[in-house]
C-alpha cells in the first residue's frame, strides 16, 4: 500500500515537531517538517499530504496569547487552503500549542456573529502545569480516537483551560459530541478536582470539529510513544506501547 504522507508545520518556537515526526514514522507514515513561511509561499504544497499536524511548543513566544500569532497566520494566509484540505476528507491534528492555534483560527469551532465560541486561556491556578493526566474518550466521531477508551499522557501548558462564551454553547459542544477527550480520575470515576488539572470547562482536554477530522488536544501523545516514557516504567515490566501511539496509528489507518 502507498505510504501516507504527513506534513508537520513548524513555526518559530515550536519544539515538539521532531517527536511528532518520530511518532508518525513509527506508525508507518512518511512525515516531513515544513516551516510555515514555505507553506505561505506555496499553499499548494498541502496537496501532497493526507495529514497536517501543528505540533506543540511556544510559537512566537506565545506573545499576545498562546498560539494567537500562529492562529492569525493560519486564518488570514492559509484559511482557504486549510478548509479545502479538510473538505477533501483529510486529517488535521493540533497538539497543545497546535490546539490553541487551530481553535483561535476558527478551524475547529467556527465563530458566530458575536465572535469566537470558545478559547483556551490561563490555567485556573495561574501557573504552568507539567504532569501526567488520565483521559477518557467520548463518542466515535473522531478518526484519531477510534478504538481508544482511556489514555495516560503528559501535559505541559500554561494556557490550557477551555472556556466557552456562554454555558449553552458548552452544552452544545457536549451534546454534539465534539468534546471527544476529557480529563478524568485514575479510577474511572466521575471527574473531580484532581482529574482536571487546569479548570477546563466540562473537563475538556480535546475538541474535534463537526466532521471529526480536525482534532485539537492539550495533552502530548507524542511524548508517550515508547513504554520507557511512562513515569512508572521501571516498576512495571508489563507496559506495552505508549498510549499516545494509538492516535498516530489511527491517523495512518484512516487512509487504508
- For residue 222, indicate whether it is catalytic: yes
Q: To which residue does cell 497546535 refer? A: 98
Positive or negative, the CA dihedral 164, 167, 169, 175 is positive
Q: Which of 74, 77, 69, 76 is nearest to 53 (CA)?
A: 74
Catalytic residue among 96, 142, 164, 208: 96
- For residue 134, indicate whether it is catalytic: no
Catalytic residue among 142, 159, 208, 222: 222
CA distances, 78 to each of 27, 36, 50, 117, 224 (Å)? 28, 10, 16, 21, 30
Contact by Cβ (8 Å): 28, 252? yes
Q: What angle do CA 16, 104, 223 make, to 5 degrees?
A: 20
Catalytic residue among 122, 134, 157, 220: 220
- For residue 96, indicate whether it is catalytic: yes
Cβ neighbours, 10 Å, residue 25: 14
Active site residues: 96, 220, 222
Amino acid at each position: 500500500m502507498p505510504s501516507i504522507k504527513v506534513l508537520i508545520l513548524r513555526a518559530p518556537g515550536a519544539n515538539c515537531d521532531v517527536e511528532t515526526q518520530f511518532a508518525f514514522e513509527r506508525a508507518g507514515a512518511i512525515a516531513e517538517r515544513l516551516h510555515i513561511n514555505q507553506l505561505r509561499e506555496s499553499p499548494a504544497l498541502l496537496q501532497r499530504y493526507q495529514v497536517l499536524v501543528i505540533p506543540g511548543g511556544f510559537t512566537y513566544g506565545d506573545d499576545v496569547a498562546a498560539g494567537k500569532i500562529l492562529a492569525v497566520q493560519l486564518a488570514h494566509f492559509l484559511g482557504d487552503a486549510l478548509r479545502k484540505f479538510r473538505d477533501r476528507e483529510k486529517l488535521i491534528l493540533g497538539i497543545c500549542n497546535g490546539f490553541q492555534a487551530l481553535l483561535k483560527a476558527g478551524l475547529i469551532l467556527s465563530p458566530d456573529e458575536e465572535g469566537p465560541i470558545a478559547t483556551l486561556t490561563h490555567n485556573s491556578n495561574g501557573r504552568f502545569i507539567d504532569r501526567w493526566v488520565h483521559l477518557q474518550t467520548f463518542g466515535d466521531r473522531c478518526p484519531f480516537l477510534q478504538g481508544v477508551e482511556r489514555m495516560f499522557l503528559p501535559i505541559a501548558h500554561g494556557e490550557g483551560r477551555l472556556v466557552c462564551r456562554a454555558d449553552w454553547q458548552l452544552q452544545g459542544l457536549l451534546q454534539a459530541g465534539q468534546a471527544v477527550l476529557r480529563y478524568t480520575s485514575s479510577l474511572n470515576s466521575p471527574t473531580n478536582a484532581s482529574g482536571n488539572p487546569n479548570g477546563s470547562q466540562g473537563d475538556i482536554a480535546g475538541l474535534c470539529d463537526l466532521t471529526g477530522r480536525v482534532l485539537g488536544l492539550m495533552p502530548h501523545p507524542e511524548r508517550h510513544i515508547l513504554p520507557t516514557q511512562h513515569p512508572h516504567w521501571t516498576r512495571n515490566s508489563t507496559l506495552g506501547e505508549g498510549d499516545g501511539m494509538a492516535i498516530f496509528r489511527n491517523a495512518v489507518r484512516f487512509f487504508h
